[in-house]
Structure 1
Amino acid sequence: MKKVLAAVLAGAMLTASMAGCSGTASSSSSSKAASDSKADSTAATSTASAEDEALTCTLNVWGPAEDQAKDKGNWLPTTCEQFKKLHPKWNITFKYSACSEGDAGKTVTQDPSAAGDVYFFANDQINTLISANALSELGGSTVDEIKSSCSKEIIDSVTVKDSVYGVPFTTNTWFMYYNKSKFSDTDVKSLDAMLKKGKVAFPISNSWYLPAFFIANGCTMYGDKGTDESAGIQFGGDKGTEVTKYLATLVANPNFKNDADGSGLAGLRDGSISAYFSGSWDAAAVKEALGSNFGAVSLPTVNIGGSEKQLKSFSGSKAIGVNPNTKNPQVAVALAKYLGGADAQRSHYKLRSIVPCNTEVLKDTDIQKDAMVTAQNETFEKTSIIQPFVASMKDFWTPTENFGKALISKEITKDNAASKVEALTKAYKNPVS
């Protein structure tokens, strides 16, 4: 009924919203913005009727500081100005604030009515943003374009109950960088093989990375698909104990180093580390550090319990969202669509090595030749799981971080592995079965 209503109201609401672009929002502006954003499809982007309507408005755009830094190409302001040129009858004043994708869930929700009209967010925060009435459902041609230009997995990452809530612009995961002079193509398929030949840094004390070992050995988070909150996080039992014993052995290996406070990247620079796990955000720095020896691949296997198991990282997407409290819904949705579009993804990649997710852009010759792009995409497709974004994930991060720190400090050993991992599982506040 909501979709039908949005479609029926599209024509009527367009005129009203355009006329009120510079005005004061009414008490119903939140619900109206949500409906308008679903009905934006034709109204706010490319049709003649929308472009013929002259308007003046101010749009607040929140994005990562790096996208607004002159020494990194000033991508966000530049792209917004390009959008403005494409809409000559829209007299838009842009205002910018720094807010990283990872911080959107806590920053935007503090006061959604005062937050950016358009902002960038990591998909694992989507339910938090929706619950705070801070994220609009999209519809019409905007969703059609997303579905025609992204993989099903990417679309699923911004979908809740069959509704799309953001314009994806990149996958979000981590993979492995390595020094090609130290490890062969065969070596990098196995972490244990690498540890026999050189030093490897891995962020054991980082709760975004540590679960890769548990998932590798068949432990689950919220069921097989990561959506069953009642199933809880099952890192205990024999499978979890095997993982914990492996990790206790791993941190004792002289060729292993816990990557904390930038030590892994620093080690690549000075040669004391030969492999390092991170994401596309570090690509430029790693390429500078390794030069012609730059290597990037999807995740290796590990030998747990006597057999090879595939490490699996958390993955998701980063997207551009529209605030349902915006006074300018058509313009906001059109901008979000443009910032996540093909041209914007190309320039984002060139300026900041942000890996595109648009399927046509990924066919570009220079992008296909980039080992980092291949590593991220292969990790997303083959050696990762979609990071759960159920509400209970809030209880996951701190206990997992503490568990990793206890491994590094040798508080957790092979001898007490079973009891320690059971205590971890209890710390997740799993539902009583």
Structure 2
Amino acid sequence: MRKRLLALTMMSALTVTAFAGCGSDKSNTQKPAGNAASAENPQAVSLKLWTSEEDYELTEDMCARFDEAHPEYKCDFEITIINVDESVEQLETDPDNAADVFIMPSGSIPQLVEEGLVYPITYDADTLKGLYSEGALDACSMNGELYGVPFTPNSWFMFYNKKLFNAEEVKSLETMMAKDLGDDTYNFACSLSNSWYIEAWFYAAGCTLFGEDGTTPDDCTWNNANGLAAGEYIIDLVNNPKYIEDKDGIAGSLMKEGKLGAICTGTWGYPELLEALGDDLGAVALPTVEIAGKTANLSNFADYKCFAVKSNTSAPLAAQQLAEFFANEENQLLRYQKNSTPPTALSLTDNADIMSDISTCALLAQTEFATPQPAISQINAYWTPAEALGTGIVNGEITKANLQESLDSLVQSVTTKAFE
């Protein structure tokens, strides 16, 4: 009779263990091809998994269904709660004890590939190409190899209060900022001191980061005339009394109180905003801006959360199959139904329940205007200088008088070899 070991390990070191599995034989390693295991001769496989706290029960259920679908294996699953924002650091810190299958942002793939820490997803690769969009697969690939199975977009868009803006007004940030909402109400909020947000203005201005296709490590045009115009636009926006920087939750609180017209955030902010505003809550792609003599939509990084496999797993075939199973259409739908996680499966874009969700629709709409996050390890050199630029502008330390100098410094830092 088959049993399973499910260990729930919290970061606080509190561990809860449930038993339903048979013992594993770690000496029995598995090769990606040539597996002779069968239902009559099942192979003992031990797999460690990382998942979020909110997805724990769902992951438990998925493991049980994977077990049923693969009688050729006799599985032990050890499930540990490690959130996606911690997974990369945990893998780098202790790869031998890391999960065999885990969730990570697609933007981490270049770094982990160069460090030799992730296994390429080669099992049933042709089928995968028909399940997800080209953009999602490209975001999870490097040098023509797929290293993660995308299951949800990982980006941001804009929520707005329908009592303060109408659907036409939220198409343009200039229109939004020109409207008088009253002395105690802000028009717009974003996190310009955050390097995951500030790039949207530079991309809208026509600037590039690591070249046109994001693969040239010594190329960044943020300090050219268009970049200077983008920086000046941001300075004017931050200094506008109708703008408020989204930090420490202040903008979200104002939005829920009806004292903010629009806020840039992601699907994670939807439940609380919906509870507070109800039918008055709207969600759309990011607005257009007028920079450097042209009008363009704000263009943020296109990124995805994906299931990946560590490179030194003892069961690469089963691990790949499990990663693909976790991200398949059925489980993406279950994840949406349980936790409102937007899917990437092409077949679900026509699902009536999913497309009635305004946050999911807005997120998918924004992917049309987003710019793929550069898939090279040089991206590691971007985050800190970009954050310093945004923070300096928000704090008033960077002004139009020293902006060009600050942009020159940013470009030098961003294009310096990341691992020198």
Any unmatched runs of 5+ in structure 2?
1-22, 182-186
3-state secondary structure, aligned to 1:136: coil
- Shift in Å, 1:276: 0.9
- How many Å separate the matches in 1 of 2:27 and 2:353? 47
- How many Å separate the matches in 1 of 2:294 and 2:221? 21
3-state secondary structure, aligned to 1:229: coil
Alignment map for 1:27-426 (pairs within 5 Å): 36-37=31-32, 39=33, 50-68=38-56, 74-88=57-71, 90-141=73-124, 143-197=125-179, 198=181, 199-231=187-219, 233-381=220-368, 383-426=369-412
- Shift in Å, 1:371: 1.9
- Shift in Å, 1:346: 0.3
Structure 2 vs 1, CA of residues 77 and 254 (structure 1 numbering), >3 Å: closer, same or farther? same
**2:40 paired with 1:22:** no
3-state secondary structure, aligned to 2:400: coil
Structure 2 vs 1, CA of residues 364 and 50 (structure 1 numbering), >3 Å: closer, same or farther? farther
Mean Cα deviation higher: 220-229 or 413-422: 413-422
- How many Å separate the matches in 2 of 1:254 and 1:144? 53
Structure with the larger helix share = 1
Any unmatched runs of 5+ in structure 1?
1-19, 69-73
3-state secondary structure, aligned to 1:272: coil
- How many Å separate the matches in 2 of 1:265 and 1:355? 21
State TM-score, norm by structure 1.
Answer: 0.84
- How many Å separate the matches in 1 of 2:410 and 2:218? 18
Give the aligned residue type for 2:64: E
- How many Å separate the matches in 1 of 2:139 and 2:156? 16
Give the aligned residue type for 1:269: K
Give the aligned residue type for 2:210: Y
Post-superposition, which runs of at least 4 consecutive aligned residues in structure 1 deviate over 4 A?
none
**How many aligned residue pairs are there?**
389
- How many Å separate the matches in 2 of 1:308 and 1:295? 23
Give the aligned residue type for 2:49: V
Q: Contact conserved, 2:139 with 2:375, CA < 8 A, in 1?
A: no
Give the aligned residue type for 1:408: V
- How many Å separate the matches in 1 of 2:175 and 2:97? 53
Give the aligned residue type for 2:201: F
- Shift in Å, 1:88: 4.7
Structure 2 vs 1, CA of residues 415 and 205 (structure 1 numbering), >3 Å: closer, same or farther? same
3-state secondary structure, aligned to 1:176: strand
Structure 2 vs 1, CA of residues 52 and 331 (structure 1 numbering), >3 Å: closer, same or farther? farther
- Shift in Å, 1:300: 0.4
Residue 15 of structure 1 is matched in structure 2 by none
Mean Cα deviation higher: 54-63 or 238-247: 54-63
Give the aligned residue type for 2:117: A
Give the aligned residue type for 1:342: E
State TM-score, norm by structure 2.
Answer: 0.87
- How many Å separate the matches in 2 of 1:66 and 1:108? 21
- How many Å separate the matches in 2 of 1:120 and 1:22? 25
Q: State the Cα deviation string for residues 75-110 of structure 1 (Å, max 9, x = none).
A: 222222222233356332321222222332221122
- How many Å separate the matches in 1 of 2:251 and 2:59? 29
